[in-house]
Amino acid sequence: MTSSTWIFESSEPLHSCGIDAEAVSRFEAVALEESPMPLVFSKEEAAHARTAEHPAETLCICFCAKEAVLKALETPYDFRSCRLFPDAGAGAAPILLDDDLAREHGVLTKGRLEYRHSDGGGEVIAAAYLFCEEDDH
In this structure, are residues 82 and 99 in contact, taking their beta carbons and an 8 Å threshold? no
Q: How far apart are CA 30 and CA 42, in angstroms?
A: 14
Whether the full predicted model's pTM is greater than 0.85, yes or no, is yes
Whether pLDDT at 1 is above 50: no
Distances (CA, A) of 29 to 52, 63, 89, 111: 15, 15, 21, 29
Query: Residue 91 pLDDT > 80, yes or no?
Result: yes
Whether the predicted pLDDT of 132 surpasses 80: yes
Contact criterion met (CB below 8 Å) for 95 and 117: no
Domains defined along the chain, listed by start: 14-136 (3.90.470.20)
